[in-house]
Structure 1
Amino acid sequence: MGGSCAQRRRAGRRQVLFPLLLPLFYPALCEPIRYSIPEELAKGSVVGNLAKDLGLSVRDVSARKLRVSAEKLHFGVDSESGDLLVKDRIDREQICKERRRCELQLEAVVENPLNIFHIIVVIEDVNDHAPRFRKDEINLEISESVSPGMGTILESAEDPDISMNSLSKYQLSPNEYFSLVVKDNPDGGKYPELVLQKTLDRETQSTHHLVLTALDGGDPPQSGTAQIRILVIDANDNPPVFSQDVYRVSLREEVPAGTSVLRVRATDQDEGVNSEITYSFLGVADKTQHVFSLDSTTGNIITHQPLDFEEVERYTMNVEAKDRGSLSTQCKVIIDVLDANDNNPEIIIASLSDQISEDSPLGIVVALFKTRDRDSGENGEVRCSLSTEVPFKIHSSSNYYYKLVTDGALDREQTMEYNITITATDRGTPPLSSSKTITLHITDVNDNAPVFQQSAYLVHVPENNQPGASIAQVSASDPDFGPNGRVSYSIVASGLEPQDLLSYVSVNAQSGVVFAQRAFDHEQLRTFELTLQACDQGSPALSANVSLRVLVGDRNDNAPRVLYPALGPDGSALFDMVPRAAEPGYLVTKVVAMDADSGHNAWLSYHVLQASEPGLFSLGQRTGEVRMVRALGDRDLVRHRLLVAVRDGGQPPLSATATLYLVFADSLQEVLPDLSDRPAPSDPQAELQFYLVVALALISVLFLLAVILAIALRLRQSFSPTARGCFESVFCSKSEPVVPPNYSEGTLPFAYNLCVPGDQTKPEFNFLTYVEHCPATQDNLNKDSSSVLLASILTPSVETDKKTFKQVRI
């Protein structure tokens, strides 16, 4: 039959449009594969070629993991040939007990795809048991008054074998008084009856010894014997008679112990002692005697312990009624046990995958299980369900087999594992149920890209930062597991030149910390933007980008720089010319400075540190404009020096100084004689030192003058007038020009009176000057240079506006 089933399966495959779906429906369409074997086969005996009957090749046996499953595994599959082999001792009487038909239910399981096939192995009986009497000796008492033809029922022999190997006949040892008659029981069995053939005479022979032999139908037959001892007693010619030959009753299995089942009743027409009847079980198995008890006086049968329909559905007992004269009769009692819903359904897992990928499609088989309920009828009908809302469902297969398949999308990031509880409930009243929980782990796939904690990052970094210090940290999370969720960071784009990027910043691939590779300079680079990428290690890898903008903050690291007044190309200073008639508020000049910093660090303020005439000029604190405070007086100097400090708004502030040289004149010619007498700027400490040196020099000069004066007075007495006239000619001469001693160095001390010809008309100015004859007295020579006015006025070649000023290089 296994071969025909395989042929039908192959024929069905050619006719179905979707061959891949056939394994799901085939078990419900094909008849079970049947094998028939005798009991007590040796271990390793071949039952049949299961692989061939299933239409599998030898290679498929191991590839698809062909195996069999049963509650008690008596069989196994050869992994090389696919033969179904006997794995354990098979005793039909032990497995099937009293059942006439002995069949073992097996399931053949294959994978890839997963499927099951049903197998029925019929166990055939062999004559391995001989008939056996419960008692080796049977004692009978027969009255001598018994007439020939009276029968006495003897105890039956037991043979657990069935069919031809079961009990077949009885034989009695040859004698002249008794013969043996074999009769049939209502349940199909046979029992012997001893029939009196000749009237007994106690006085002639008080006892008789016979041998009863029971034989089965095996080849060769086996037998068992019992000794019959007959004691001849006085006459008791009426045996008891039961009210009915067969007593039948139905009893629910849940009745408690001690329940009265029924009462058998027999009567005896004799009187006196010969009519007293006792009841007893006759030929009842020990197990039945443990379940029921019989009152020997009343004939009442009572349950001795609880009943179990699943273990025994029917009890058959022989009850004997015997009077005091040893006459007896028997009846049969049949007790049918009715099923009650007292067994919970069972869930048996046949195959289970404890892991499944989160990208598994719908319909993937997760587990294969079956249900079993030992009850019968509706009490044994089971339905399965899932007790919680999960993305799985139960698909009914066949013969109480079920498949647990996926019924929704799986997401490991939301649920890492499922505890799936399968509940089996029968249809009894009240219904009974049982549950089994299986744990299913969801394995990860790389289906989530990294996500940054911020959509964009903005970082403020002060300039002059420490090279190698961290300036920011980006962080991205990936809910995937293992390498799929392990994130690394890199820079994929920037606003900097590619060759400059590595010298400016770097990022740690594991932590996402961004490091500055160099000190930033706000004046060179105020902002730049990076594009960072977070990439996981899945296959294929997923990534995400984020923008990181770096703002380089300013620090006060640049001092102000004076743009005006500036030095000439040769390093000489410039001066500003102011009209003598300048009024208050007149814009004299403007100090122009700049600071490379920004913000407060570039806010400049202007302050006067030194001024030759403090009240004559004012300085705009924010503008740097120098304006007249009052008009120039007659007693005011015409040359002025202002030392201006330019400070920024940083903390601490940085500063620079600028020196302004201001000369009051209406034309350029007026300024030239004073050019060589411009004092150099000095700081207060230098001036103090200068005054000390001047004082020391003055004392020395006074001492020297005193000595010279004394010598001069002494010489005056001896000089003639001619000599005095020559001395005077040295100081004042009209014919020879007098050149200042330091003229060759390009300086003109203000102590000299310079005379310039009045008809000067050449565009270029000739610094060669002549000294006009001007009487010089001793008082004139001793005057301080700071109080000497220009002796002559330079004639300007171009008329100058009073509202403008000129600069002349010193």
Structure 2
Amino acid sequence: MLLLFCAIQELGAWAMHTSVEGPGLGQPGNPALLAGGRVKRGWVWNQFFVVEEYTGTEPLYVGKIHSDSDEGDGSIKYTISGEGAGTIFLIDEITGDIHATERLDREQKTFYTLRAQARDRQTDQLLEPESEFIIKVQDINDSEPRFLEGPYIGSVAELSPIGTSVMQVMASDADDPTYGSSARVVYSVLEGEQHFTVDSKTGVIRTAVADLDRETQDQYEVVIRATDMAGQLGGLSGSTTVTIVVTDVNDNPPRFPQKMYQFSIVETAPVGTAIGRVKAEDSDVGENTDMTYQVKDEEGVEMFKVTTDSNTQEAVITVQKPLDYESKKVHTVVVEALNKFVDPRFVDLGTFRDQTIVRVSVLDVDEPPEFRPPSNLMEVQEDAHVGSVVGVVTALDPDTANHPVRYAIDRSTDAEKIFDIDANTGAIVTGKVLDRETAGWHNITVLAMEADNHSQVSRASLRIRILDVNDNPPELATPYEAAVCEDAKPGQLIQTISVVDRDEPQSGHHFYFTLAPEATNNHHFSLLDIKDNTAAVHTQRMGFNRQEQDVYLLPILVVDRGPPALSSTGTLTIHVCGCDSNGAIQSCNSTAYVVSATLSPGALIALLVCVLILVVLVLLILTLKRHHKSHLTSEDDEDMRDNVIKYNDEGGGEQDTEAYDMSALRSLYDFSEIKGGDGGGGLGEGGPSGNPASELHALPQWVQSPDLDFSVFRDYICKKVEQADEDLSVPPYDSFQTYAFEGSDSPVPSLSSINTWSSGSEQDFSYLGGWGPRFRQLAALYAGRRGEEDSEDS
């Protein structure tokens, strides 16, 4: 069994004897097993420790491990392993003595854990189970207290009472707090004990006086010392410096550096102009120096205003009411300064405000005249004669010199010179005849200036109201027209009449209605005054006949109330109309009346505009259609010319082909009506029953003869033109195609009797002289008629 010496208690622990079961009882060859029972063994427990910071030259004895099976013959070998084994701690293999060979520091490591073995020296067999033991490093007071959380900065308000906690400091000691007093620290004040104290156990710093004044000293450096060994002799100590800042409280009132300030300002300074600045001083800091200022005297409150500049904490004095040098030359203002934030502890002192006097001198300037009183409304009757006085304006020079004033009207506000003003008295008179109905109000500007200095001028706006007089008679509101059905019954309402009057009496309009004297014998209609400035016209008899009389003119006399009473006569036009069974108008003799009676003026204008637009559209469509028709006719002419078949081959003449009926072309030239003999151009005397063959032979000969008399052809043309002019049923044609006989100058000999005169749309009829255009019309006429006949035949 391994006897283990362990350092488990403090130095000087008593040895104890006890009976325990030792380890290794189950090992083979154990005498207890051979005896068949348990064996009690005695243990000697001693402390295993090493004093730190050992300075001796020899290894320091720590302790001894021993097995009770050791008989002292050296057969057992003791070994150790674990922390520091073989380096810091060495063991004697025979005796089991353990020594420390190095200087240990408890603050770095407080104990070491090792394991002990007992082996047979010959076989190296483990005789006892491996056992663990601890070597404790015994502390000595070798570490001084240290303040690890510095630097320390604290604060306390000025004038705080004694014992006010400022802050807490704490020192740490690396020595063993469980062994002796090496780590028991106490605190004390080395410097600054006149103003501060420290709790020896807790390290709480407190004020020692109640008169800390920030304005006197705003910061203190206090040295705090910490000593171990509970402050006993031989203890180690450390110190730190604590900075204590004394914070401000509002314990100082504002004070003006001067008891009086003087400023000056011109009397014309506008309201809001700054006069000057004053500032009260305060020994406090921060927000405790924020100020508010106010005017204390009544006169100053009325004339001046004081505000605080938040950036500079100055009092800004401004003009609150216009100044007047002539009224008062010097103003005295009492300005008071107060702290914005007051500490309640010092309110009772009543000294946290201060006052100063500000004298404001008003400087005189040359001012323009002033209008007195500032009346800006005048009235005048519209029938006032030219030169009548409307009113008088007055202006005075406010300066002590009291210069004379001259008056004028700003003509930019009265370009028509409706009013004039007396330059000396300021009397405003009419310059022209007034008319309220044209202009009921006039706004003019009157100028007042110093007589010897026109640059000093003032302006006043003046409103002149033109009072109405009854100078316009009432008139019917519109030229009234009404309608009455032929079957109207007596008492039927026809029209309600209203009037207009350009006048505007103050008591309002009131009109009287009656029939004009020339209509007093009227038995057809009656007029009823409704008493609300309107009148109603009713039928007075049964039925009307528009065949006998379709329009009635009813003169109506309208009179206003005056004075003087004016009147006018208006005429109501009444149309007799036919109506259906429901009384709806069907027709009247006057179309214009029907339109005007059923449509308002705005609707009539809209209708006329629509009709005008329709007319323009119709004209535009017709123009486009005619242009399109002309274009199509030209194309048709071209197509017709293209359809003409020319025969240039020598053959049997007209009988060569049946593709085109040449008789249709011959029929266009009806010469049956031409009178003449054989000597009249070779046309013969044929008529409608003449021989066509003779005409066919005659026409080419006539064309080919250069000496042929054109009188026959001219007579024929004239007659055809006359017939065409008299025939109104024939429409005009824009183009036509004619066929001429082949002449002697034909470029290609042909037996055909037809050829085109021109390839263009216009044919050359210059050989006919002045008859060319008429012949074109004639040819077109006959071509068109022949086309119609051909279409009917087909």
* Greater RCO, CA 8 A, separation 6+: 1
Choose 1 or 2 for highest CA Rg.
2
Q: TM-score, normalised by structure 1?
A: 0.34
